[in-house]
Chains A and B, each alone.
Chain A
Amino acid sequence: MHPRLAAIGPETLARAQQAVAKLRSAPRPLQLALDICAHCGQCATACQVSLSSPERRLNPARRANRLREVVAGRRRLDRQELGDWARDFYECTGCRRCAVFCPLGLDNSVITRKVRAILGDIGLSPCRITATQEASDRLGNNEGASEAAIRDMVRFLEEELREEHGAAIRIPLDEPAPVLFATASSEIMGRPENLMGCATFFHAAGIPWTMSTRAFDAANFGLFSGDDAHMHRKNKLLHEACLELGAKRLVIGECGHAYRVAKYMGAFTAKPGQPYAVTDIFTEAVPVLRRGGLRLDPGRNTRPVTYHDPCNFARSGGIMDEPREILRACVTDFREMTPNRERNYCCGGGGGLAVLETAEGVERTDTFYEFRMNVSGRRKYEQIKATGADIVVAPCFNCLRQIEQLMDYHNGGAGVGTVFELFDRAVEL
């Protein structure tokens, strides 16, 4: 038994058992998911994890049944069971594809997230996810970047933009503006071309905007770990920044789960009646594009491009046509994957899986990295190869990381990118 599990004493175990007992008064979608599954097996034929391996524990309904049995008292919640949960419920990417195909509309990701919350409460979240949340609580962003580092980075990017476009494209920080822009900090630090593209867009469209150093990061690992307290705490930073800077619109960048939390789940920004609206960079850009406010030369992006619908933007957010419209205007050879939109396969790195590499102290014969490459991401890899595309565009940093690793691991040859990176190349100022 792993030391983390062995260290769980009777009091901690009792806390987990109490948390399970409390599920009887849980919100309605969770109760329904627990109560009315008819064991029809549709989810197992929809889930890309379940489709890629005959392993019994990967069957979504079977995984959910484990929790059902504990709730019904037919199975005892002990350390062994908790260890299995820590493995099994981090093999679900929470992509909600099963919910699209379930005849009863049940959402297994609700169960997954709840079990992860119970695990997190007794210290059984994967280390990478706990560490990211801690960094985020300390400095307000997942990367753990200080304010000085952020300012340095932004100044550097402004210089790059001047070199690239020969224009003074600014990335304003903490300036009062009608638009507060926030995206994943990992994106800004690890893939700054995307932020440069967004800055170019705001410049070209003539929309006054700003970013906030305190609410620099819209990514929210509370969605993955099930830790509602963390999710709302981090969401509050965005809310406060909007009020402080007088923003009328909170525009979320190319980060699917940041959008879902800000728009639908955060206790502050998703609350009705706020003095600002929550939207995303694509919805912001489409009207400008349609009225001819952007001059684009798709001839600068001639390599075949395909678009991956991130689960949180497409299935959970309904943002499917807007990114395509912008992308089509920026490239000459756009190819759809099949299936796509709300029926798209998850990249295999959803629900925070993309940052898990080791076996994370659970009983398994492979590591999470191997699991993502060989099982959860296999469908995605095949789907991308079938398009023959050179570049896979995905507005989500979990997806990009996962797809980039998939291409490396299987020698796939395609590169990855974001919509506004290609926009930055196509735009004429």
Chain B
Amino acid sequence: MAACLYLLARRALVSRVREITGPGDVLALLLLLAVILSGNAMRFGPHVDLGPVRDYFAALLRLHPVPWPDVPGFAVHFLLVQVLLVWAPWSKFLHAPGVFWAKATLCR
């Protein structure tokens, strides 16, 4: 969370970085921050019973799915993670593996 806040502050405050910041750069950080915040809300906020969630995934892995349990705190967190994963291929999260490609072509 601290890292996300630092990176957001850097995007907003360092002029050389602000000049090249696009919507995608901010969205990536905000989405990560939202995932972390919703996760921390479950950990430090009002108690959320994760038992039904564990049962749900256990059933899913045994290929005998059961209906989605009604745990709103977790649902928000899980939805945000899914949005992140869906968006990842079009975002710069994919640049992490790209590092190796770029360095390899540079050294060749």
Chain A residues within CB distance 8 Å of chain B: 28-29, 32, 35-36, 38-41, 44-45, 50, 54, 56, 59, 61-62, 65, 99, 103-107
Given A61-B20, A62-B19, answer yes or no on A32-B99 (Cβ-Cβ < 8 Å).
no
**Is the CB–CB distance between A41 and B20 below 8 Å?**
yes
**Is the CB–CB distance between A59 and B19 below 8 Å?**
yes
| Proximity string of chain B (44-84) to chain A, C-beta cutoff 8 Å, 1 when within and 0 when not | 00000000000000000000000000000000000000000
Given A44-B16, A44-B17, A59-B20, answer yes or no on A106-B102 (Cβ-Cβ < 8 Å).
yes
**Is the CB–CB distance between B106 and A99 below 8 Å?**
yes
**Is the CB–CB distance between A39 and B21 below 8 Å?**
yes
B86 within 8 A of A: no
Given contacts A32-B105, A39-B22, 14 further A-B contacts (CB under 8 A): A28-B105, A29-B102, A35-B98, A36-B92, A36-B102, A39-B20, A39-B92, A41-B14, A59-B16, A65-B20, A103-B99, A104-B99, A104-B102, A105-B99
Closest Cβ of chain A: how far from B70's Cβ, in Å? 39
Nearest-CB residue, chain A, relative to B21: A39
Chain B residues within CB distance 8 Å of chain A: 10, 14-17, 19-22, 25, 92, 95, 98-99, 101-103, 105-106
Nearest-CB residue, chain A, relative to B102: A105
**How far, in angstroms, from A45 to B20 measured CA to CA in the complex?**
13
20 pairs, A vs B, C-beta closer than 8 Å: A28-B105, A32-B98, A32-B102, A32-B105, A35-B98, A36-B98, A39-B22, A40-B17, A41-B17, A44-B20, A50-B16, A59-B16, A62-B20, A99-B106, A104-B98, A104-B103, A105-B102, A105-B105, A105-B106, A106-B102
Closest Cβ of chain B: how far from A310's Cβ, in Å? 20
**Is the CB–CB distance between B95 and A36 below 8 Å?**
yes
Nearest-CB residue, chain B, relative to A107: B106
Closest Cβ of chain B: how far from A191's Cβ, in Å? 34
Given A29-B106, A36-B92, A104-B95, answer yes or no on A41-B22 (Cβ-Cβ < 8 Å).
no
**How far, in angstroms, from A103 to B25 measured CA to CA in the complex?**
16
**How far, in angstroms, from A150 to B19 measured CA to CA in the complex?**
51
**How far, in angstroms, from A35 to B89 measured CA to CA in the complex?**
13
Which of A29, A32, A38, A65 counts the most chain B CB atoms within 10 A? Answer: A38
Closest Cβ of chain B: how far from A42's Cβ, in Å? 9
Nearest-CB residue, chain B, relative to A28: B105
Nearest-CB residue, chain B, relative to A32: B102
Nearest-CB residue, chain B, relative to A47: B16
**How far, in angstroms, from A35 to B101 measured CA to CA in the complex?**
12
Which of A32, A39, A44, A62 counts the most chain B CB atoms within 10 A? Answer: A39
Which of B20, B22, B105 counts the most chain A CB atoms within 10 A? Answer: B20
**How far, in angstroms, from A105 to B95 measured CA to CA in the complex?**
12
Closest Cβ of chain B: how far from A264's Cβ, in Å? 11
